[in-house]
């Protein structure tokens, strides 16, 4: 009896020493024994362990490998070999990585897997044969529907209904030519069909908005994604009119209107009543500012009358736009530079005479200042009459669905089949 107890104690000590030998790098994990091979990242994990971790601040490959029992020589050869696949220099703090190891007393590492994104990874072989390859996790795309009313902001409304936060920004992009999102009101509503992307049953992102209706001040704004004449997909309304316009509705995407177009405004600094022929968008310093249309920079200068750093862009023989109080200019933006619609041109600031960071945005038509918020510009590239039947057939189901949900009083979220 005493002999059996001593043998059991010795075995227990041996088992304990085998387990604690890995404690400085996390405990080895045994894989569930199964008749079917367990495969992940293209690696058969039977009889192997996996340690999940994430890149720490100031981590380099050698530090990670040394922490898990590898050596400097392996790190050197791996860095050299992986340059043409995914360089180890691209490894970033916070991203997950996984060490696949032998189930021996020292947890000998065989592979390191680094998550490039939620759906893409790179495998580094740490054995006798050092190599690397990039793989991807299979994804499923599901069409989702969400609708609701604006109670505070579009972003908050999306969150309240359980939608992916990115949908708010995507919806703003879809309607960037046709809806002034700085002027949306409580009780405005939306209905959206969009794609969500899943990997390993987890939501990893969103695809495209397929159809939408945004109701502002009781007016419907329909949008249907459609690939016209082999071009990249764009958005059209129920009449085949493109949502794209010659100019964007606003030159920045994060702000609030702090002052509108006026012929008599009390200046907040000088207290003098004078015309303010522009729109002030209050936004944090450094907020990106974009050109609302294609054109040429005709002025990049300092306005000594209070405008600070400013740009003027001539779009055509009719329209010119002006962007004032800029903190700085985007790289490559000089007088004579050709810019495209939506191109970064500068950053919100408070240069010149200003109480705080904001953009003073102005539009001139034939040399006369006009209210930027009241511009009504024609659409570009509408669907031709001969192509309208094909378009209407392609978006018919979504038009019907969107029409139904916008008339309903209830708010719901559900999976729906994709319309081909």
What is the DSSP code string of 318-381?
SEEEEEEEEEEE-TT--TT-EE-TT-EEEEEB--SS-SSSEEEEEEEETTEEE-GGG--PPBSS
Q: What is the pLDDT of residue 347?
A: 96
420 residues of the chain, pLDDT tens digit each: 444 434 333 433 333 333 333 444 444 545 455 567 788 887 888 888 888 888 888 878 788 888 888 888 888 888 787 778 887 788 888 889 998 888 888 788 888 898 888 888 888 888 778 888 898 888 888 888 888 888 878 888 888 888 887 888 888 889 888 887 777 788 888 899 999 888 777 777 888 999 999 998 888 999 999 988 777 788 999 999 988 888 888 898 766 775 654 554 444 555 554 566 788 998 899 999 999 999 999 999 999 888 999 999 999 888 999 999 999 999 999 999 999 999 999 999 999 988 889 999 999 988 999 988 887 776 777 888 999 999 988 888 888 887 643 343 333 444 444 443
Q: What is the pLDDT of residue 3?
A: 42
Strands 262-266 and 273-276, how do they pair? antiparallel
Q: What is the pLDDT of residue 181?
A: 76
Q: What is the pLDDT of residue 5?
A: 38
Q: What is the pLDDT of residue 46?
A: 82
Strands 295-303 and 288-290, how do they pair? unpaired
Cα 105 off chain centre by: 44
Q: What is the pLDDT of residue 420?
A: 36
The DSSP element (H or E) to which 146 belongs, if any, is: strand 139-149
The token duo for 318 is: 């009719």
Q: What is the pLDDT of residue 249?
A: 83
Q: What is the pLDDT of residue 322?
A: 96
List of long-range contacts for 269-274, beta carbons under 8 Å, 24+ apart = 269/306, 269/353, 269/354, 269/355, 270/353
The token duo for 267 is: 């200046």
Backbone angles phi and psi of 407, in degrees to 5: -95, -5
Beta bridge partners of 113: 98, 123
Q: What is the pLDDT of residue 61?
A: 79
Q: What is the pLDDT of residue 380?
A: 75
* Residue ranges with strand state E in 158-307: 189-199, 202-216, 219-226, 234-236, 256-259, 262-266, 273-276, 279-282, 288-290, 295-303
Asked if 97 and 53 count as a contact pair (C-beta separation under 8 A), the reply is yes
The residue among 168, 181, 346, 337 whose CA lies nearest residue 248 is 181
The residue among 275, 273, 279, 269 whose CA lies nearest residue 371 is 279
Q: What is the dihedral angle through the alpha carbons of 308, 314, 320, 326, rounded to the nearest 10 degrees? A: -20
How many residues are recorded in the chain? Answer: 420
Q: Is the dihedral of CA 58, 60, 66, 67 positive or negative?
A: positive
Task: Give the chain's largest Cα–Cα span.
Answer: 106
Q: What is the pLDDT of residue 268?
A: 53
CA distances (Å), 387 to each of 243, 379, 383, 390, 399, in order? 17, 17, 6, 6, 17
DSSP 21-48: TTGGG----PPPP-SS--EETTEE-TTE
**Within a 10 A sphere around the Cβ of 30, how many other Cβ atoms?**
11
Asked if 291 and 313 count as a contact pair (C-beta separation under 8 A), the reply is yes
């Amino acid at each position: 009896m005493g002999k059996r107890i001593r043998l059991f104690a010795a075995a227990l000590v041996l088992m304990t020493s085998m387990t604690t030998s890995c404690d400085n790098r996390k405990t080895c994990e045994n894989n569930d024994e199964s008749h079917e091979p367990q495969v992940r990242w293209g690696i058969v994990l039977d009889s192997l362990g996996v340690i999940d971790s994430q890149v720490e601040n100031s981590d380099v490959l050698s530090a990670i490998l040394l922490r898990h029992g590898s050596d400097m020589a392996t790190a050197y050869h791996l860095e050299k070999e992986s340059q043409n696949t995914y360089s180890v220099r691209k490894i970033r703090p916070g991203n997950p990585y996984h060490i696949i190891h032998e189930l021996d007393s020292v947890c000998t590492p065989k592979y390191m897997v680094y998550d490039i994104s939620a759906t893409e990874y790179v495998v580094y072989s740490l054995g006798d044969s050092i190599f690397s390859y990039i793989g991807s996790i299979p994804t499923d795309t599901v069409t989702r529907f969400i609708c609701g009313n604006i109670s505070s902001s579009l972003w908050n409304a999306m969150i309240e209904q359980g939608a992916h936060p990115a949908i708010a920004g995507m919806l703003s992009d879809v309607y960037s030519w046709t809806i002034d999102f700085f002027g949306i009101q409580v009780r405005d509503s939306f209905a959206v069909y969009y794609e969500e992307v899943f990997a390993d049953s987890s939501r990893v992102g969103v695809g495209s908005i397929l159809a939408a209706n945004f109701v502002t001040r009781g007016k419907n704004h329909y949008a249907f994604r459609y690939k016209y004449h082999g071009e990249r997909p764009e958005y059209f309304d129920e009449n085949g009119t493109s949502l794209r316009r010659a100019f964007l509705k606003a030159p920045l995407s994060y702000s609030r209107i702090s002052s509108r177009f006026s012929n008599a405004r009390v200046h907040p600094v000088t207290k003098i009543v004078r015309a303010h022929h522009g729109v002030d968008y209050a936004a944090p310093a450094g907020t990106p500012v974009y050109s609302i249309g294609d054109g040429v920079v005709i002025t990049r200068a300092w306005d000594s009358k209070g405008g600070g750093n400013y740009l003027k862009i001539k779009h055509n023989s009719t329209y010119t736009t002006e962007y004032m109080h800029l903190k700085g200019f985007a790289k490559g933006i000089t007088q004579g530079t050709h810019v495209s619609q939506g191109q970064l041109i500068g950053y919100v600031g408070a240069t010149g005479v200003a109480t705080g960071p904001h953009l003073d945005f102005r539009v001139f038509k034939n040399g006369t200042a006009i209210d930027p918020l009241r511009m009504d510009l024609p659409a570009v590239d509408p669907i031709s009459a001969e192509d309208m039947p094909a378009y209407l057939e392609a978006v018919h189901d979504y038009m019907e669905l969107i029409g139904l949900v916008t008339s309903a009083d209830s708010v719901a979220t559900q999976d729906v089949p994709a319309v081909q």
